[in-house]
Amino acid sequence: LDAYKYAFTTQISSELENDTAVDLVGYLARIGGEALANGSGAHFVTGTGSSQPNGVVPGSTLGVTGGSGVTGAFTVNDIIDLYYSVIGPYRKNGEWLMADAAIKAARKLKDATSGFYLWNNSVLADEPSTLLGRPVFNDTNVADPALSAKSVVFGDLSKYMIRDVRGVRVERSTDFAFQNDLVTWRFILRTDGDLTDTTGAIKHFIGNAA
């Protein structure tokens, strides 16, 4: 694991910093942290591994290829096959990862024999819904179902490791924009992520290119 740099910079007037009655520093820390999380988080999912983390989707291995003529859509059998493409030790800790469009499609899947939905809504606010008994997590960075798109990921996501180097560095400067009487705040994070178990711990469904 290497260490790629993510940074967020914002400027405020010296009057705002001196006169505000709210916790301005706390607010800046929150938006700075959110900006770093959004930037690095996107790469943790779909990063190429070149000058950025290798994302969990590119790092996963092929589990199932969808049928032709359905523009990348998946079926009940595709989801079941993807589930069982991951071996038992990883499958028992398996989690699904997909974007809204794939989740919407997955919620409509029914067992052909019983007519029951494969999807089960969580009855607890802090617990994820499940698909085939395993939790489902939403991430907008995963591709929507389409031809050649890796739209569903399943496996032991704990095998994807993230390395943060000494946390977030926060710096404040009154010199950088001195002429304009602005205070500059900078937030820097050095981090990397990669799938450390490449034996098939995480697999994906890909839409047929035909």
Q: Of the given ranges (19-23, 101-105, 109-113, 204-208), which has the lowest mean pLDDT?
A: 19-23
Region 40-67: what's the mean pLDDT? 96
- Residue 8 DSSP SS3: strand
Region 32-53: what's the mean pLDDT? 96
Region 93-118: what's the mean pLDDT? 94
pLDDT tops 80 at residue 209? no
Q: Of the given ranges (9-23, 33-47, 135-149), which has the lowest mean pLDDT?
A: 9-23
What is the DSSP pairing of strand 160-164 with strand 119-120? unpaired
Q: Could you tell me which residues come within 8 angstroms of residue 118 by beta carbon, excluding any fewer than 6 positions away? A: 76, 79, 106, 109, 110, 111, 131, 132
Query: In whole angstroms, what is the distance from residue 12 CA to residue 19 CA?
Result: 12
Output the CA torsion sign for 126, 129, 133, 135.
Answer: negative
Neighbouring CB atoms inside 10 A of 74's CB total: 24
Distant-in-sequence contacts of 41-49, Cβ < 8 A, 24+ apart: 41/141, 42/141, 43/4, 43/193, 44/160, 44/162, 44/193, 45/97, 45/139, 45/141, 45/142, 46/141, 46/142, 46/143, 47/193, 49/194
Distant-in-sequence contacts of 15-22, Cβ < 8 A, 24+ apart: 17/183
Region 119-130: what's the mean pLDDT? 90
Output the CA torsion sign for 2, 95, 79, 46.
Answer: negative
Find the radius of gyration of the CA atoms of the chain: 21
Query: In whole angstroms, what is the distance from residue 186 CA to residue 80 CA?
Result: 47
Region 169-177: what's the mean pLDDT? 94
Cross-strand pairs, 186: 9, 171
Cβ 29 vs Cβ 197: under 8 Å: no
Query: In whole angstroms, what is the distance from residue 35 CA to residue 197 CA?
Result: 29
- With cut-offs at 50, 70 and 90, classify the pLDDT of residue 151: very high
pLDDT score recorded for residue 210 = 60
Q: Of the given ranges (123-127, 190-194, 199-203), which has the lowest mean pLDDT?
A: 123-127
Output the CA torsion sign for 41, 42, 46, 50.
Answer: negative
